[in-house]
Amino acid sequence: MAHFLFAEAWLIRASERLAGLLEPVVTGLGYEWVGAEQAAHGGGGLLRVYIDSPNGVTVDDCARVSEQVSAVLDVEDPIVGAYTLEVSSPGLERPLFALSDFHRFAGRPARVVLNEKLDGRKRFSGDLVGVDGEHVVIDSEQGQIALPYALIESAHLTIVDGGVRRG
């Protein structure tokens, strides 16, 4: 089995190379590739792959994808160190990876974390407005703000009691 180890405890987007290896496997099985994250996990690493389907995702779907993804990782060996592979649906607080995700979910509340400060802060919450070039636009309590996509460390939709809320 392929292995990896991460020094950071925070979830990060999987590398483009890793996504390039795994996305065709997921889509070839008939599922939507949502994205992947890597994280430190109990002395090793965690690779979390998110899949979706118009009919939802079952445990059997996750097992099927996990088996095929694991086979590709074993052959390609793109990850250094020990790791755990986890395949999951994106859930209600769906992670947002690609610029197209921010466009697709315009109007929905989200939380965005940047990898460096912008206007003195790294965390932003509000309703997604959409995409403007290489910027994600959100409508926060402080007004509309354009966040450079290249600075986004993580982002996800937000949900609360009875529906959706601001961050």
Q: Give tens-digit pLDDT for 11-27.
A: 445 677 888 999 999 99
Extents of the domains making up the chain:
12-88, 99-157
Q: Are strands 135-140 and 83-88 parallel, antiparallel or unpaired?
A: unpaired
Q: How far is CA 138 from the centre of its chain?
A: 18
Cα–Cα distance, 109 to 102 (Å, whole number): 11
Would you state the pLDDT for residue 164? 47
Mean pLDDT of all residues in 94-112? 95
Q: Is the pLDDT of residue 167 over 60?
A: no
> What is the side-by-side order of every strand in the sheet holding 135-140?
143-148, 135-140, 121-132, 109-118, 152-157
| Statement: 99-157 belongs to CATH 2.30.30.180 | yes
| Statement: 12-88 belongs to CATH 2.130.10.10 | no
pLDDT in tens, 34-87: 999 888 767 678 899 999 999 999 999 999 999 999 999 989 887 777 889 999
Would you state the pLDDT for residue 13? 55
Question: Is 107 within 8 Å of 166 (Cβ atoms)?
Answer: no
The length of the chain in residues reads 167
- At residue 83, φ and ψ (nearest 5 deg) are -155, 165
The yes-or-no answer to whether 12-88 and 99-157 have a common fold is no
Would you state the pLDDT for residue 162? 55
* Residue 110 burial by Cβ neighbours in a 10 Å radius (0-12, 13-18, 19+): buried
pLDDT in tens, 129-146: 999 999 999 999 889 999
The structure's pTM equals 0.79
Q: Is the pLDDT of residue 121 over 90?
A: yes
Which is nearest to 86 in space by CA: 67, 72, 68, 66? 66
